[in-house]
Structure 1
Amino acid sequence: MSPVSRRTVLSTGGTLAALAAGGPLLASCGGNSAPGGTTGGGGAGSDGPVAAPTFRAPEGPEPDIAGDADIPDTFFSYPADPTVSVPEAPGDGQPVRILTQTFSPVTAQPPQNTAWANLNDKLGSALEIQQVPSGEYATVFATSLAGGQLPDMFFLAEQPDMPRMVEATCLDLSDHLAGDAILAYPNLAAIPSDCWEAGRYNGRLYGLPSPRGAMSSGVLYRRDDLLAAQGVAPEWDDFEGFFSLAQQLNDPRGGRWATTIVPGQYIKNMLGIPNFWQYDGTTMQSWWTAPQMEEALEAQRRWAEAGLMNPDAFASPNTKVWFSTGAAYFNPDSFSAWSQYFADPPEGFDIDVCQIPAFDGNGTGHLWMSFPSYGRAGINRNAADRVETLLKVANYFAAPFGTQEYLDVKMGQEGADYTFEGTDPIATSTGAANSALGIRYIADCRIANYLPGHEDSARKLDASIRELVPDAFRNDAVYLYSETVESDFASSAQMFNALEADIVQGRKQVSEWRPAADQWWADSGQQMAEELTEAYHAAGRG
């Protein structure tokens, strides 16, 4: 069985930031936005922050199960008659130059790349795309920035003093996007309002988002088919109940473990630990100083000591494969990964997402909601004379699921890059590579819950999202700027990640955490919290 197939490009919206499989912490699912909240301008200008863009659900095919600003729409199949969401070519006949990252191999150029050539024809302007492997993108962006060589549109990599850099480089889009102004671009208006905070700097709107939100949030999956074969009900009321069930299921001799890795985030969710920064009504509080952290560390240490996870969990985790092939009953992943598991499932394959009871059984825990957007893209301030054209192109890129433009952007040219099975588009042998142009990091639509051929499973995923998302904890500092966070957060995170790994694996004691957290708070944490609190109020959030 292959965990990911050619369906993946369409059904997941591309490669998403993955969960940190082997370590105790969770990698940010919000793209290049650090959990410390360093990536936005946050605060207001002299006249206060401009209004967030108005959210308006897209006009198009009715979903089989309608969502809302947080809950994705569910489609059991691709609509037979896709809506045309952009009736006229948005281009002006002049090339549109783009700098973006890619997590796939750099594609061929047109005319060999039929997906790219088709998009050029549909847009009425040729795209000149410089695709840069993600690991090299920050360097290439910095070089282009320093040399004044940024193109018309570009994905914004993290740089020192982001607000100043963005204001000096990017066009202020506030007059075109704030409030109801965005309704001139219906596909952009279908992006939830909170996603636009990724591109807000000093109260103004500079960036175009790529929505992620609920679908990129980390959860704990379970193999219901394997549990049913063991006659085990996947139910527990607290951590001790979950631990006992894991002990019952764990079978190293049989090559099957309770979990792929130590379920660190799930344990923290059970304990109600903040989604990194949490505003308590007075100031920001960090998970590093949360009083529940020692309990979370002790629970993780017990899990690892009992050997309830794959023995390669820390050294070389391969979680998706272990879970897909039945080598584990439980696996941390994101909601968006559901469709990947159903790309080529074995007969009888059945999964669900675990609910989150409180650690002590007294109430419920809380999912951590992922960042609303995977970073943001800017329009060159020197391209002001073409701003309406470039926003129309972005509007095309953001065409929602169920439209013809979505197929153009995500799949390419019918026949060459994809064909249909019934009404569902399936990538050809070359189509998936051709369509990986990196433009989803310039502007993108929301991810739909789409599992063709698996209606029951799509309903189950929708139910799980609706159960967990309303009470989810959000990172209250997301997209807020702090000079101290910018300068000190990365080294602090490295230190705490290493300390947590050492404690979980038994190399250090749980008692070593609190002194380290207190020292960090004295050295820089309190300053971070104060600066983020000031930015929080300046942004009009509280």
Structure 2
Amino acid sequence: MRRRSFLGLAGGLSAAAVGLTPLAGCSSRPPALDATGPPVAGPTYRARTDLPKPVIAGTADGTIPSTYLRYPERPVTTVAGTPGDGRPVSILTQTFSPIPPAVQDNPVWSNLNAALGSPLQIQIVPQADYKIKFATVVAGDSLPDLFFASPDFPRMPELMAARAVDLSDHLSGRAVLDYPNLANLPTACWDVGRFNGRLYGLPSPRGAMQSGILLRRDDLLARRGITGELSDFSDLAGICAEVNDPRAGVWALAAVPLQFIRNMLSIPNFWRFDGTTMQSWWTAPEQEQALEAGRKLFADGLVNPDAFAAPNKKTWFSTGKAYFTDDAFASWPQYYAGVEDEGFAMSGCTIPAFDGGGSGKLWLSFPSYGFAAVGQHAADRVETLLKIADYLAAPFGSAEYLTVRYGRDGGDYELTDGNPAPIGTTGAASQLGVKYVTDAPIVNFVPGRPEAARQLDALLRRLVPDALANDAVYLYSRTVADRFAGSQTRFSSLENDILQGRRPVSDWRAEADSWQSRYGAQMSAELTEAYHAAGRG
């Protein structure tokens, strides 16, 4: 270019909640030595063959999604009959969106209830408040029929054994074929709900789409004569200095692009197995270099000054008040939705090595965003609940997919030229949080912007093959479960202080060394043992 802990559980299953990071991702599947018997087989994968063919097929493991340019005018029916039994189904889930209208004022919700044949009684909690609500529900022994859980909640093996239904007999091996849409989910995502060798959870597939990247406004950069790819960090910093215009209310960066800088330095994605032991990203020697680079960008006034206190990154980027912002691949369609400027153009930055002369490494996101479990009190309805989950997992191209996300054709949405669009305010009404119960395999689809979908596919295929995975994903460590969240809070606070110039970069090494001696070495040992027990090395 030219210039993510929740339940303490230490004193039993009714202990209070203690914090959560959705990025921890290191404490979901315990090592085999904790299992009461041989691990059950994972669900048999069987891709649906009755769906419309994608324009560009994704990878077989679901990491890179299939690309579609339009929704079929005649969607496929993937669920025969009505899955519900007429009785209400209680659900506890989270949302990142505003809370939708109640069911009596929500046509999308009402229509979904009718399609399922059992009314969904959904308790939708803002993501920021979910940990407190979940802890309260567990402490009161009042878990609903279906409930969302995160893989980094502490003591999940104990919680699942005590409060959730073991779904192994219903989902392991060929048993899952009774639920064709669940069998269509990528194999890797099922490990999110495996504990003590047994299957307890329903996944929400994500693949690489939740991986974080640095987005750029190509249209705005082109007006300044800036085109091409970044060559190194100094190139990024130089471009930011060239386009920054605080007097006009425009900053180069919506936030400090710290993850992108860490990617430039190929810092581990939380945990890296080096052939002998697990190494934490917090102790990586390149962390100080990344923090110094991010600190300088902020000190030089290249970052919106409200980035820490009142961030509004999507709006700043969409309205041209920022040239660069960090987000996930999955956010791609959101930036094009409702854009009236026909000249709007964005792309994602490829990742050069920090000093040039090579490439950095993307951090690959987890195969599944959490999982949903069945409360033990609902053991007599497992088949019904799994049929409902099978409906919720209906894939892109199906009629059920539209019902779950949009409601009634012609009433809540219109399908025009292959693009489903909400009518009136029904878009907000559709945010029911059921995608955290289970979800369809994620696809690459940008309504009305086929060129944007092709562009995203090309970027995924360029960055994902060499991406760094978290080598401890879905491995269980008791010390991680107990101490990771508190550690994350301390490091995040320190990170923000350093970036804003309130503490020196040198404080990071002191904190990292202290953490390593207190908790890190034990975490590493436990995760290394779990890594070997899981047959990964």
| TM-score above 0.5 | yes
SS of residue in 1 equivalent to 2:157: helix
The alignment status of 1:258 with 2:252, answered yes or no, reads yes
Distance 1:109 1:239 in 2: 49
Partner of 1:48: 38
Partner of 1:477: 472
**Correspondence list, 1:132-151, <5 A:** 132-151=125-144
Higher alpha-carbon deviation: 111-120 or 327-336: 111-120
Q: Is the 8 A contact 2:21 2:488 kept in 1?
A: no
Distance 1:269 1:375 in 2: 24
* TM-score, length basis structure 1: 0.89
The alignment status of 1:62 with 2:53, answered yes or no, reads yes
* Structure 1 residue 106 displacement after superposition: 4.2
* TM-score, length basis structure 2: 0.90
* Structure 1 residue 393 displacement after superposition: 1.0
Q: 1:414 to 1:385 in 2, by over 3 A?
A: same
Q: Which runs of 5+ in 2 are unaligned?
A: 5-19
The amino acid across from 2:91 in the alignment is: I
Partner of 1:376: 371
Distance 1:151 1:312 in 2: 40
* Structure 1 residue 445 displacement after superposition: 1.1
Q: Is the 8 A contact 1:55 1:190 kept in 2?
A: yes
Match of residue 354, structure 1, among 323, 343, 349: 349
How big is the alpha-carbon RMSD for the aligned residues of Structure 1 and Structure 2? 2.2
Distance 1:238 1:102 in 2: 37
Match of residue 227, structure 2, among 228, 233, 252: 233
1:89-115 Cα deviation digits (max 9, x unpaired): 222333333222334454445554322
Higher alpha-carbon deviation: 289-298 or 268-277: 289-298
Q: Is the 8 A contact 1:214 1:370 kept in 2?
A: yes
The amino acid across from 2:53 in the alignment is: E
Q: 1:294 to 1:148 in 2, by over 3 A?
A: closer
SS of residue in 2 equivalent to 1:332: strand
Q: Is the 8 A contact 2:167 2:200 kept in 1?
A: yes
Distance 1:460 1:63 in 2: 15
Distance 1:493 1:139 in 2: 18
The alignment status of 1:282 with 2:276, answered yes or no, reads yes
The amino acid across from 1:37 in the alignment is: C
Higher alpha-carbon deviation: 465-474 or 51-60: 51-60
The alignment status of 1:405 with 2:400, answered yes or no, reads yes
1:265-316 Cα deviation digits (max 9, x unpaired): 1010010001111111221111110111121112112222222222322332
Match of residue 501, structure 1, among 496, 499, 510: 496
**Correspondence list, 1:159-238, <5 A:** 160-238=154-232
Partner of 2:7: none
Distance 2:514 2:230 in 1: 37
SS of residue in 2 equivalent to 1:376: strand
The alignment status of 1:387 with 2:376, answered yes or no, reads no
Partner of 2:89: 96
* Structure 1 residue 466 displacement after superposition: 1.0
Distance 2:102 2:296 in 1: 53
Q: 1:84 to 1:445 in 2, by over 3 A?
A: same
Partner of 1:3: none
The alignment status of 1:521 with 2:512, answered yes or no, reads no
The alignment status of 1:131 with 2:121, answered yes or no, reads no
The alignment status of 1:451 with 2:441, answered yes or no, reads no
Q: 1:113 to 1:237 in 2, by over 3 A?
A: closer
Distance 2:134 2:255 in 1: 35
Q: 1:519 to 1:377 in 2, by over 3 A?
A: same
SS of residue in 1 equivalent to 2:373: strand
The alignment status of 1:269 with 2:259, answered yes or no, reads no
Distance 1:100 1:313 in 2: 29
SS of residue in 2 equivalent to 1:450: coil
Partner of 2:531: 536
Q: 1:314 to 1:384 in 2, by over 3 A?
A: closer
Distance 1:92 1:520 in 2: 52
1:468-506 Cα deviation digits (max 9, x unpaired): 111111112222222222222222222212222222222
SS of residue in 1 equivalent to 2:216: strand
Q: 1:496 to 1:159 in 2, by over 3 A?
A: closer
Percentage of identical aligned residues: 55
**Correspondence list, 1:25-36, <5 A:** 33-35=22-24
Q: 1:32 to 1:200 in 2, by over 3 A?
A: farther
Q: Is the 8 A contact 1:115 1:412 kept in 2?
A: yes
The amino acid across from 2:130 in the alignment is: Y
1:338-366 Cα deviation digits (max 9, x unpaired): 11110122120111110011112232111
Q: 1:103 to 1:302 in 2, by over 3 A?
A: closer
Q: Is the 8 A contact 1:142 1:159 kept in 2?
A: no
Q: Is the 8 A contact 1:418 1:427 kept in 2?
A: yes
Q: Is the 8 A contact 2:24 2:484 kept in 1?
A: no
Q: Is the 8 A contact 1:411 1:432 kept in 2?
A: yes
Distance 1:408 1:194 in 2: 27
SS of residue in 2 equivalent to 1:470: helix
Q: 1:85 to 1:357 in 2, by over 3 A?
A: same
Over 6 Å off, 4+ runs: none
* Structure 1 residue 197 displacement after superposition: 1.4
Partner of 1:9: none
The amino acid across from 2:433 in the alignment is: G
SS of residue in 2 equivalent to 1:128: strand
Q: 1:506 to 1:363 in 2, by over 3 A?
A: same
Partner of 1:433: 428
Distance 1:209 1:398 in 2: 9
Q: Which runs of 5+ in 1 are unaligned?
A: 1-16, 18-30
**Correspondence list, 1:322-361, <5 A:** 322-345=316-339, 346-361=341-356
Number of equivalent positions: 513
Q: Is the 8 A contact 2:24 2:485 kept in 1?
A: no
Q: Is the 8 A contact 2:21 2:485 kept in 1?
A: no
The alignment status of 1:320 with 2:314, answered yes or no, reads yes
